[in-house]
Amino acid sequence: MADHLDLHTVGDLLHHYPRRYAERGELTRLSDLPLDEHVTVVAQVADARVHTFNGGRGRRLEVTITDGSGRLQLVFFGKGVHKPRSELQPGTRAMFAGKVSVFNRKRQLAHPEFKTLGAESGVEAVEAFAHQLLPLYPACKQMESWQIQQAIDTVLGPAGHEEAALAGLIDPLPDSLREGRGLATLPEALRKIHRPATKTDIALARDRLKWDEAFVLQVALARRRRADAQLPAAPRKPVPDGLLTAFDARLPFTLTEGQRRVSEEIFADLATDHPMHRLLQGEVGSGKTMVALRAMLGVVDAGGQAAMLAPTEVLAQQHHRSITEMMGELAEGGMLGGAEQGTKVVLLTGSMGAAARRQALLDLVTGEAGIVIGTHALIEDKVQFHDLGLVVVDEQHRFGVEQRDALRSKGKQPPHLLVMTATPIPRTVAMTVFGDLETSVLDQLPAGRSPIASHVVPAKDKPHFLTRAWERVREEVAAGHQGYVVCPRIGDDAGDEGDASKGAASPSPEDEAEKRPPLAVVEVAEQLTKGPLSDLRVEVLHGRMQPEAKDDVMRRFAAGEVDVLVATTVIEVGVNVPNATAMVIMDADRFGVSQLHQLRGRVGRGSAAGLCLLVTDMPEASPARARLGAVAATLDGFELSRIDLEQRREGDVLGQAQSGVRSSLRVLAVIDDEEVIAAAREEAAAIVADDPELTGYPELRTALDALLDKEREEYLDKG
C-alpha cells in the first residue's frame, strides 16, 4: 500500500475515501435473472460439489441454489473455495449478490458475495443486505478495492463498535466551529464515509470532511499571509515629476479606466513595507505590459531596479523592443541624447555574445540599468543587482515556482512580485479561490482592439467546412491581412517538440482512440502550398529552427512579406502582428483550453476583426468537442480557466500533483465548493488573527504539520 497508493499509516488509510458506492440491487427471483447485471437473490443451497482439474492442482466449487422459481449455479475457484465450502452446506438459506454471466449456455454467478441467513432472519435483514452501499476505493493493479476495504474493516472493527476504534483520532476542527456549523464529529464522518447505511450518511460525511480540507488549508494560507505581512520590504513610492511622469506625458493615448484602477492598486502595494504579492489577470491584449511597465518605472523613480522575467528568448527580445520603443529617449539614461530622468533598459538572455552580456551584468550591479528584461538567464548565480525592488513574471505558467523564488532571493530585502497571466491556469485559479494571491483584473480591451470570432470546424463530419476555412484565410489575405496556421507537431520527428501535448490536458479516451499522429507543421505547410493556398506566400516557424532563421521569418511576417505562417505553439505568447487577422488551429482538440485561448489572442490585435477556426476530427458528442465549443463560446480567460479546472481538477493546490505528490484535496473540489472555501477562509483568518501560533489549538497544529510536510511548506513559501 505504501508503495502503490502512498498510504503509510492507519490515518492515511482512514482518509483514503471511497470514490463511489455500488448498490447490490433489488431482490430478484431466479427465474427472472437479467444477464450482465448485478443482482441480489435469496435462495437455498440444493447441492455443493468440489471438482479438481489440472491433475488435481486446480479446484472449483460448484453450488446449485434454488428459490422455488428456478435454479442457478454459483462457482468459486482456487483459494476462494474454502469459506463457501464450509458455510454453504445443502439446506442452508443465504443471500447471494454478483453479476450474472453465462457458461455452457447456463446462467451462473462467479465468486458472488453471500451472507447466510439464520432461521430468525426476517425481511428487514434481507432488504438491508440487498440495499447496502458498497464502497469502491481508488485502487491500483497491485491493490484491489476489496483488499483496501478489508484493511479498513480490520481497522474499524466489527459493525457498531467503530467509535472505539476511532476514539483516539486528532480532530483539527475546533469544537466551537464544528458545533456552530452543525458538522458531524470526525469519528462519525469516517464511520459514515466507509460504512454508510444510507446516501444521507455519505452526504453528511462528505460535508464534514470537505471542511477539514478547506479549513486546514486556509489556516496554512492565513498564516502564510500573516508571515508575508511581517516580512520587511523597501516601500517604493514614485517621486513626483520623475521618470513615470515623463513617460505618461509622452504616451500617444490615454490609459483605459481598468489600467488606471489596476495601476493604483499596484502602487498602493508598492508603497507598503511588506512585499506585494499580486496576480495581474488580463485578457490577451488588454494592456498588461503597459501596467507592468508603469510599475517598473515607479520603482526606478524610487531608487530601485525592476526585472521582467519572460518565458522565451523571442518574447524577452520582443518585450525589450516594445518597452524601449514606448520609452524612447527615457530608455537611454546616461547616453548621449538620453533624457536626464532616463534609465538604461538592458536585455539579458542565454544566447547573447560575451561582450554584450558582460556589459549588461555590469549595468545591473552598478545600478546603471533600472530595468532588465530577460529569460532564465536572469536567475543564474553570477547575476547581481544593485537594489532589486520589483520582479515582474510574464505568463506565470511557463515558470516554475523555484525560478521565481531564485530571482526574488536576489534582492537585499524580498522584492515586490507581480505575476502577469492572460489565462489563469488551474493552480492560479485554485489559489485565487483560496485567496493566497491578491488579484487585479483588466477586463476592457484598449481602444482600437477588435473582437475575435471563434468557430469549431468539424473536419471529419463536415469536410466542406474545412474547405470553407481555407477560403476564409484567402479572403483575409485578399483584403490585405495575414494569417496563422497552428499545428501540434513539427513533423521531422527527430525528438519532436510535442508542443501541444506539453500544455494540453492529459490525453482523453477519445484522444487515445484516435491513433492518427497529430498534424505536423512541415506536412501541413507542404499540403497547403500545393493545394488550397497555392498562390500565397507560406512560411514555417517552429522551435527547432536556428534563432537567426526564426527571427528572420518573424521579421518578414511582421513586415507583411509573408501571407500565412504555419507554426507550432512557439507563437503562443507575445507575438504581436496587428495585421494578422485569421488563425486556423489544426487538431485543436490536442491543445489545452489555456493554450487555445493564448493562441487565439495572436489575432484581432489591430483595427480589423479577428477570426479563429478550431479544426478537429473529434465526434460531436465527445468531451473534446465540448471543450472546443466552450473556447469558441467565450473570450473570457477566467471563465475558460474555470472550464479547464472543472475538466482537469486542481492538480494539487499545495504542490504539483504532476511532481508525484498526492493531492491534499480528496473530497474538496475547488470550483464546486467555493462557498465552503470562502467560509473556511473567514474562520481561519479569525483564528490566526487571534492566535497566530495556534497555541490554543494543538490538534489543528498537528493537522497542519501533517499537511505541510517540508516540501509543501516550501512550495507555499514560494507561492
Give pLDDT tens digits for 486-504. 998 887 654 444 444 444 4
Give pLDDT tens digits for 408-454. 778 788 899 898 887 666 666 666 666 667 888 887 766 666 778 99
Rounded to an integer, what distance in angstroms lies between the CA atom of residue 521 and that of residue 529?
12
Helix (H, G, I), strand (E, B), or coil: what is residue 60?
A: strand
Instruction: Assess contact for 98 and 113: CB atoms under 8 A.
Output: yes
Rounded to an integer, what distance in angstroms lies between the CA atom of residue 669 and that of residue 609?
38
Predicted local distance difference test score (pLDDT) of residue 81: 85
Average pLDDT of the chain to the nearest whole number: 82
Sheet strands (E) in 69-112:
71-77, 93-103, 106-110
Rounded to an integer, what distance in angstroms lies between the CA atom of residue 106 and that of residue 101?
8
Q: Which residues, 6 or more positions from 518, have their beta carbon under 8 angstroms from its beta carbon? A: 487, 488, 489, 498, 500, 501, 587, 590
H or E element at residue 58? strand 58-66
Give pLDDT tens digits for 101-117. 888 888 899 888 888 87
pLDDT, mean of residues 239-251 = 90
Rounded to an integer, what distance in angstroms lies between the CA atom of residue 110 and that of residue 96?
11
Range with the poorest average pLDDT among 35-44, 350-359, 696-705: 35-44
Strand partners, 439: 279
In the predicted structure, residue 45 carries a pLDDT above the cut 70: yes
Rounded to an integer, what distance in angstroms lies between the CA atom of residue 613 and that of residue 586?
9
pLDDT, mean of residues 33-38 = 79
pLDDT, mean of residues 517-542 = 90
For the chain, give the number of residues: 719
pLDDT, mean of residues 301-329 = 89
Q: Which three cell numbers stand for residue 289?
A: 505590459
Which span out of 327-336, 514-523, 554-563 was modeled with the highest average pLDDT?
A: 554-563
Helix (H, G, I), strand (E, B), or coil: what is residue 344?
A: strand
Give pLDDT tens digits for 92-104. 988 888 888 888 8
Sheet strands (E) in 564-667:
564-567, 580-585, 610-616
DSSP 8-state class, residue 576: -
pLDDT, mean of residues 337-364 = 86
Over pLDDT 70: what percentage of the chain? Answer: 82
Which span out of 48-57, 158-167, 367-376 was modeled with the highest average pLDDT?
A: 367-376
Predicted local distance difference test score (pLDDT) of residue 431: 64
Instruction: Assess contact for 634 and 411: CB atoms under 8 A.
Output: no
The one-letter code for the residue type at 638 is F
* pLDDT band (50, 70, 90) for residue 506: very low
* Nearest alpha-carbon partner for 43 in 63, 24, 61, 68: 68
pTM of the model: 0.67
The one-letter code for the residue type at 332 is E
In the predicted structure, residue 512 carries a pLDDT above the cut 50: no
Rounded to an integer, what distance in angstroms lies between the CA atom of residue 428 and that of residue 250?
35
* Nearest alpha-carbon partner for 34 in 130, 115, 98: 98
Rounded to an integer, what distance in angstroms lies between the CA atom of residue 600 and that of residue 453?
10
pLDDT, mean of residues 579-595 = 90
* Nearest alpha-carbon partner for 486 in 516, 513, 518, 455: 518
Instruction: Assess contact for 676 and 211: CB atoms under 8 A.
Output: yes
Give pLDDT tens digits for 212-224. 988 998 898 888 8
Helix (H, G, I), strand (E, B), or coil: what is residue 410?
A: coil
